[in-house]
Amino acid sequence: MSDRASHALPAALAATLVLACLWTSLALAAPARVGDLTQHAGETPVRLVGYGLVTGLDGSGDRAFGGIGSQTPTVRSIVNLLHRFDIDVPPDHLRPRDVAAVLVTAEISPFLKPGGRFEVQVAALGDATSLRGGVLWMTPLAAGPDQPVLGSAQGPLYVSSNGDTRSYWQRANAGRIAEGGILEAEVPGTGGIPDSVLVMRQPNLVTAQRVAAAINASFGAGTAKVRDPGAVALNPGPTRAETYLEFLAAVDTLMVTAEEPGKIVIDSRDGTVVAGGDVRVGAAVVTHRGITLQIGGSGSRAEATGLVRMDPPAAVEDVAAGLHAAGARPDDLVAIFEALRSAGALSAPVVVR
């Protein structure tokens, strides 16, 4: 059993953090569909981008983006927008504090058809301090600045918040709109029959071998062959030529236990820590901004504020819970876990999002 930090962690936060880590580890170890672990070669996602305006902000919109007063890009965009509705407003009469210029991005499947919906990400381009409560004005989306319009996006934004009252972490100038995008035109250069090569979403030789073994066990030896850790080649044979799509669909439904990746993912905004695989932390001592993490050692050090001590090898969820109890902020968690990685006490890579 590991020692607890001197400050008590709220029960709800500790339970949520530990259960999230344990649930993720169990989920990665559970069998998964081949279709969830792979995609067919040629199914390259299509990325869309657009420039738009978010309205309805409570005084947190753009103020001096690009210049002063009527010369700002935000003001000019509003003037152009209103002009399309035969409404002419002098630019120097506009002082928008409830509007923000934004960049809208999305990633869609190449097989998505016109009328299909998708999620869009929205991020402020100027000095807007928050997009919370805003609504994205209808924004054309294209594959690039000089490309034809393929879809559009609009709708109310969802902006996450961790409830932190510190101003740095309370900034919320990015958000998303679930199913806020609509594809309006056929994606050029896509479609057709999927290729007979399965591409691993996360290249891993062990998982690729398990996928090939499951396919060969169901459809006969030689149906699948591992090319490399990132690809499995399929050979459906002449008898399945007329039912090729049915064959691919059947392959996608096969169940395979994927190799658990040893990885730690930290959300730099709200401090969420997710551990994949059975990741353990070895003996080390890290001191950062008044917080001392001690894993191992004699234990003779006097208890003090900000001290987190436990026995090695320590579970990632215990380390994260102890650091949260000691008052560690999201950037503190990132620094401490990266220090553990650099010191060799942690072998799994640390991914910061």
53 touches 100 (CB < 8 A): yes
Strands 307-310 and 291-295: parallel
Q: Are residues 53 and 174 in the same domain?
A: yes
| Beta-sheet strands, E only, within 129-251 | 135-142, 149-156, 174-183, 197-200, 224-228, 231-234
**pLDDT tens string 155-185:** 999 997 654 444 444 558 899 999 999 999 9
Q: Are residues 167 and 197 in the same domain?
A: no
Burial 243-276 (b: 16+ CB within 10 A, else e): eeeebbeebbebebebbbeebbebbebebbbbbb
Q: Are residues 96 and 154 in the same domain?
A: yes
66, part of any domain: yes
Q: Are residues 266 and 253 in the same domain?
A: no
Q: Are residues 278 and 251 in the same domain?
A: no
4, part of any domain: no
Q: Are residues 76 and 55 in the same domain?
A: yes
Q: Which residues of the chain fall below pLDDT 50?
A: 1-28, 65-68, 163-169
Burial 41-72 (b: 16+ CB within 10 A, else e): eeeeebebbbebbbbebeebbbbebeeeeeeb
Last residue of a domain, one of 210, 236, 257: 257
pLDDT number for residue 95? 67
Q: Are residues 93 and 38 in the same domain?
A: no
- What is the residue range of 299's domain? 11-29+261-352
pLDDT number for residue 25? 42
pLDDT number for residue 293? 93
pLDDT number for residue 145? 82
**pLDDT tens string 183-238:** 999 988 766 677 789 999 989 999 999 999 999 999 999 999 999 999 999 998 88
Q: Are residues 233 and 284 in the same domain?
A: no
- Asked if residue 156 has a cis previous peptide bond (ω within 30° of 0), the answer is no
Number of domains in the chain: 3
5, part of any domain: no
Last residue of a domain, one of 207, 236, 257: 257
pLDDT number for residue 171? 58
pLDDT number for residue 81? 80
3, part of any domain: no
Last residue of a domain, one of 223, 257, 291: 257
Q: φ and ψ at 23, to 5 degrees?
A: -60, -45
337, part of any domain: yes
